[in-house]
Amino acid sequence: MVSYFIYYTEASIVCVAIFGILLIRDLCSVDRQEKQIKYDHALIAFMLYFVSDALWAAIIAGMLPRTRFTVISTNFVNCVLMAAITYTWLRYVMAVEQIPKRDTPRFKAAVLTPFVLSVAALAFTYLFAPDLLISSDLEQQPLYNVFHITVPIIYIVAVVVYTVKRAISEENPLEKKKHLFVGLFPLMVILGGLLQVLVLPETPIFCFSSALLMIIFYIHSMEAKISTDPLTLLNNRNQLHHYTAQKSSFIREGRLTIVAMFDINDFKLINDTYGHAEGDRALILVADSFREVLRNHSMPMFLARYGGDEFILIVHPLSESEVEALICELCELIAARCRRVGTPYTISIGAGFDTFSGKGDTFQKCMQRADEKLYEDKARQKKRN
């Protein structure tokens, strides 16, 4: 039992050290995004769980006194921390998936409710009927395992259902893979925990699988940060190059491939008149409008901030009229958003698009033609005004 304790504790210390390094690296970042903050919360929950689990291993091995108090307290903390791990992970996934209204008080209260009810019920049972959880010879009872897994299952199922649903409705293959990765990969940790409980109880498989999960997601998060525009949270030019380098990006059976270019009319005037902070606000407003409009269309598409106030959209409609309708819808929504938020100006955009022919054509040539049509559209708008 002593060797078991040493092995188990060493594994926990290694995992805590790894997570501590990731946490310190994140805390030292000067531009922490929401999903990084939520990821750090999950790291802390994991670290506390490993410390508590190592204490439980010390009690099992006889390195710490096996009393009713130590058994009940460590099992209570383990149960609460396991629920906390899955709660913080769900919040992280919500940030990654940009779920609307996720930070409203009502939404946060709804997500937190299973955790709070579980902790309250567990505390009540320990206070008034502890024998239902821990037997007279200090062994865990089946009801304890029910408490231990119920809330984690609820949160993990919520993650899987939401991300798989998003993946099914997503036409962009890159986005589809991202949804499936975020939703299904954590199941490895659950399988690792089950394997430890049912087959290899003396092997810290849960600790190792958790460490692997968090390292992979940390790398994934860093890659996403590299490929995401920090202001608008759209794809950046680096991700655009990655997307257009794939031949599959321009091949959609029975569909056109259209490259559309957009920019904000008189964007420099907004910056000069109202300041660069207001210019950033205008860019975010346009990016949010793009997201809302694109969610209403099922055709495959890829959107990126090309640079400055320029945006690029690669879309695969059945006809050019679908793109024209999308642009009209976008212009109307941007104007409506300006009125709703009360900007001291009304944003309008220029737009131009061209069809990728596929016969000796290249993305760069198609984008150049779209850019030329963009400036033709801007010139027409100036004449009308």
Q: Are residues 168 and 260 in the same domain?
A: no
Which has the closest alpha carbon to 91: 73, 74, 110? 110
Q: Are residues 168 and 246 in the same domain?
A: no
Select from 227, 248, 264 the last residue of a domain.
Answer: 227
Structure tokens at 332: 């109307």
Residue 62 has pLDDT above 90, yes or no: no
Q: Are residues 122 and 262 in the same domain?
A: no
Q: Are the C-beta atoms of residues 294 and 329 closer than 8 Å to each other?
A: no
Structural domain for 287, as ranges:
237-384
Residue 377 has pLDDT above 70, yes or no: yes
Q: Are residues 221 and 248 in the same domain?
A: no
pLDDT at residue 264, as a whole number: 94
Q: Note whether residue 186 is domain-resident.
A: yes
Q: Helices H, strands E: what count in the chain?
A: 13, 4
The mean-pLDDT minimum among 113-117, 166-170, 266-270 falls in 166-170
Q: Are residues 214 and 261 in the same domain?
A: no
Structure tokens at 248: 């599959």
Q: Are the C-beta atoms of residues 289 and 335 closer than 8 Å to each other?
A: no
Q: Are the C-beta atoms of residues 23 and 65 closer than 8 Å to each other?
A: no
Question: How confident is the model over 235-252, as a mean pLDDT?
Answer: 82
Q: Note whether residue 307 is domain-resident.
A: yes
pLDDT at residue 283, as a whole number: 94
Q: Note whether residue 232 is domain-resident.
A: no
Per the DSSP assignment, residues forming a β-bridge with 333 are: none
Residues 6+ apart with CB under 8 A from 124: none
Q: Note whether residue 183 is domain-resident.
A: yes
Sign for the CA dihedral angle at 284, 286, 292, 295 comes to negative
Question: How confident is the model over 268-290, as a mean pLDDT?
Answer: 92
Using left for φ > 0, alpha for ψ between -120 and 50, and beta otherwise, residue 201 falls in alpha
Q: What is the CATH number of the domain that holds 274?
A: 3.30.70.270
Q: Are residues 175 and 242 in the same domain?
A: no
Select from 175, 202, 227 the last residue of a domain.
Answer: 227
Q: Is 264 helix (H, G, I), strand (E, B) or coil?
A: strand
pLDDT at residue 80, as a whole number: 94
Domain count of the fold of the chain: 2
Question: How confident is the model over 270-274, as a mean pLDDT?
Answer: 91
Q: Note whether residue 313 is domain-resident.
A: yes
Q: Note whether residue 160 is domain-resident.
A: yes
Q: Are residues 61 and 134 in the same domain?
A: yes
pLDDT at residue 223, as a whole number: 73
Q: Note whether residue 61 is domain-resident.
A: yes
Q: What is the CATH number of the domain that holds 140?
A: 1.20.1070
Tokens 């919360």: give the residue.
Answer: 41
Tokens 């975020």: give the residue.
Answer: 182
pLDDT at residue 174, as a whole number: 61
Q: Note whether residue 89 is domain-resident.
A: yes
Q: Are residues 256 and 287 in the same domain?
A: yes
Give 284-314 pLDDT, tens digit per residue: 999 999 988 988 887 888 999 998 999 999 9
Q: Are residues 245 and 213 in the same domain?
A: no
Give 332-353 pLDDT, tens digit per residue: 999 999 999 889 998 999 999 9
Question: How confident is the model over 131-145, as a mean pLDDT?
Answer: 88
Which stretches of 105-244 are DSSP H helices? Answer: 105-128, 142-169, 173-184, 187-198, 205-227, 237-244
Q: Are residues 134 and 267 in the same domain?
A: no
Distance CA 212, CA 309 (A): 39
Q: Are residues 172 and 267 in the same domain?
A: no
Residue 150 has pLDDT above 80, yes or no: yes
Select from 200, 227, 254 the last residue of a domain.
Answer: 227
Mean pLDDT of the chain, nearest integer:
87
Question: How confident is the model over 360-383, as a mean pLDDT?
Answer: 91
Q: Are residues 35 and 151 in the same domain?
A: yes
